Each structure stands twice: as C-alpha cells, then as structure tokens.
C-alpha cells in the first residue's frame, strides 16, 4: 500500500507546528461575532486532519466536530484530544458527500483543503453542507478560492520545521493538468528525518481552480448560501476589492433558507 503523509499525523503536525492555533481560533470567533446571525454552539471542520483547533475552540466554549477521509488522522485526533470536554466528535467520510447525524452552527475549511474536482462535486459538497449547517450559520473558506491563477504560477515553495528531534522538509510545486477544465496538481514533497530514520512522501492533490467570479456565479445559481464577504491576510479590515496581490484570502458564506 502506498502510504501518504496523512497516514503519519505526527509528521503532519511537525510540518505545520509553526502555526498559531490560538490566533486562528480567535479569528474564527471574530467572524462569528461579526457575521453569524445565530448563536454558535457546535463548530464543524471539513478536512480536519489532526483537528488542530479542537482544544482552542473547546476552550472558547464551542463543541467541535471534524470530518476527514483518513482514519489515521481521526484516530490520532481522538487520542490526542481525549481530555477535552465535550469530547470532539470525529466523522470519517468524503467531503463530497457524507452522512451526519447532527447539525452545526459554523463550518470551516483551512489551507485550501477543498478537494472538489468538477461542478458536480461542488454541487454535491454544497448540498451536503446545506444539510449540516443551520440557517444563519457561516461557512468559512480559507485559501479555497484562487484570486491569483495557480495555473500561471511556476515556482516552488519550501520550508523545514524541526520539533522533538524530527525534521520535516516540505516542498510545494504546482503542475498544470488541463487548462480548459482549470485542473492543476499540487505536489507536496516531504522528506522526514525522524531521529536519523529517513522517509520520503510525495503527495499529489488534483484540484479544479475556483476563480472568484465563477464562484459568485455558482452561489447565485444556488438558493441556500449567500455571499457575506472576502478578505485578505486574515484581516477583516482588508476586504478584497481588486483581485491583484491577494494573499491568504478568506471567504465567508451564510446558510440561508432555500
């Protein structure tokens, strides 16, 4: 079996251990305070991985639910957060369409982890989200809409993070797959040095680029989500009013009757 980095949640966590989860949770909370039209009790993360915000959100009084397709990630999160009260709910499933027994008041997806490859998958995902999100609740999308064209990007980013004797070196590349269908692949190459035991992973994520005008059109064709706003740099004082030089864009939608 071909193992991917997501099968090793502890390496994934080292790779992203530079993130400030308290600050990220504060930002989610400020979106809720400013834009939610319902009180928020339960928060839902799509593609939650190791559920990195579970503790910070629980500390702020929310109940946390995460969805992921990878069993190892969910088992890791379950064990890591076993001390929290209420215990995080963790659901195994595919974001395109999944079963759920509850409804939630706020939903989010981080780091562009919206893996939808065509309009049918987008519709099925938003149908499912409309079923789980209570009316008035927000859907927060981090880096999921492409304000700069990934298909024109030809470069690579890399960084190394070390924690507890484990060094994780990440390199990101982008490859065009099909210009007409706006398909591209992100290749994330990871080299791990775990106390001198070396491993290498190559993660290829195929995605359809979603550009802002197309996304607004998509929402307009649906009646169950409204556009609330988009901002750059995770800063609610920086609304996006032209599409140049946009870094780390967030988009907020609201579930409406429909």
Ligand X SMILES: C[S@@+](CC[C@H](N)C(=O)[O-])C[C@H]1O[C@@H](n2cnc3c(N)ncnc32)[C@H](O)[C@@H]1O
**Piece in contact with ligand X (CB under 6 A), picked from 67-75, 128-136, 168-176, 211-219:** 67-75
Q: Which of residues 210-249 bind ligand X (CB under 6 A)?
A: none
Site string for ligand X, 3-22 (x = CB under 6 A): ---x---------x------
Chain residue whose CB lies nearest ligand X: 49
Q: Taking a C-beta distance cutoff of 8 angstroms, is the pair 3, 12 a contact?
A: no
Interatomic CA distance for residues 251 and 108, integer angstroms = 10
- Tell me how far, at minimum, the Cβ of 52 lies from ligand X, in Å: 5
- Minimal distance, residue 213 CB to ligand X, in Å: 25
Q: What tokens were used for 132?
A: 């789980």
Burial code (b: 16+ CB inside 10 Å, e: under 16) for 122-151 equals bebbbebbbebbbebbbbbbbbbbbbeebb
The site string for ligand X over 103-122 (x = CB under 6 A, - otherwise) reads -------xx-x-x-------
Residue of 126, 90, 155, 87 whose CA lies nearest to 258: 126
- Per CB under 6 A, 36 contacts ligand X: no
Q: b or e along 26-47 (b: 16 or more beta carbons within 10 Å of the residue's beta carbon)?
A: ebbbebbeebbebebebbbbbb
Sign of CA dihedral 195, 196, 199, 200: positive
With respect to ligand X, which residue has the nearer C-beta, 93 or 212?
A: 93
Stretch that binds ligand X, among 68-76, 146-154, 168-176, 208-216 (CB under 6 A): 68-76
Binding-site size, ligand X (CB under 6 A): 18
Reported as half-sphere exposure (CB side, CA atoms, 13 A), residue 181 has a value of 12
Which stretches of the chain bind ligand X, using CB under 6 A? 6, 16, 45, 47-49, 52, 67-70, 73, 94-95, 110-111, 113, 115
């Amino acid at each position: 079996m071909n193992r991917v980095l997501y099968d090793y949640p502890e390496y994934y966590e080292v790779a992203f251990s530079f993130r400030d989860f308290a600050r990220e949770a504060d930002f989610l909370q400020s979106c809720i305070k400013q834009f939610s039209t319902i009180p928020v009790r339960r928060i839902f993360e799509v593609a939650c991985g190791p559920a990195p915000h579970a503790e910070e959100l629980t500390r702020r009084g929310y109940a946390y639910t995460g969805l992921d397709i990878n069993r190892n990630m969910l088992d890791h999160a379950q064990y890591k957060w076993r001390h929290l009260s209420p215990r995080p709910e963790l659901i195994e499933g595919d974001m395109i369409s999944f079963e759920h027994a509850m409804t939630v008041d706020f939903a989010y997806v981080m780091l562009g982890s919206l893996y939808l490859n065509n309009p049918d998958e987008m519709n099925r995902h938003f149908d499912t989200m409309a079923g789980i999100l209570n009316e008035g609740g927000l859907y927060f999308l981090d880096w999921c809409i492409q304000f700069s064209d990934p298909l024109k990007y030809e470069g690579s980013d890399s960084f190394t993070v070390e924690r507890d004797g484990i060094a994780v070196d990440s390199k990101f590349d982008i490859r065009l797959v099909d210009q007409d269908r706006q398909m591209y692949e992100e290749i994330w190459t990871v080299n791990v040095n775990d106390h001198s035991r070396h491993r290498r992973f190559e993660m290829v994520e195929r995605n359809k680029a979603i550009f802002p005008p197309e996304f607004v059109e998509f929402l307009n064709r649906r009646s169950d989500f409204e556009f609330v706003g988009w901002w750059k740099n995770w800063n609610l004082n920086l609304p996006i009013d032209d599409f140049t030089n946009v870094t780390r864009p967030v988009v907020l939608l609201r579930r409406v009757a429909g």
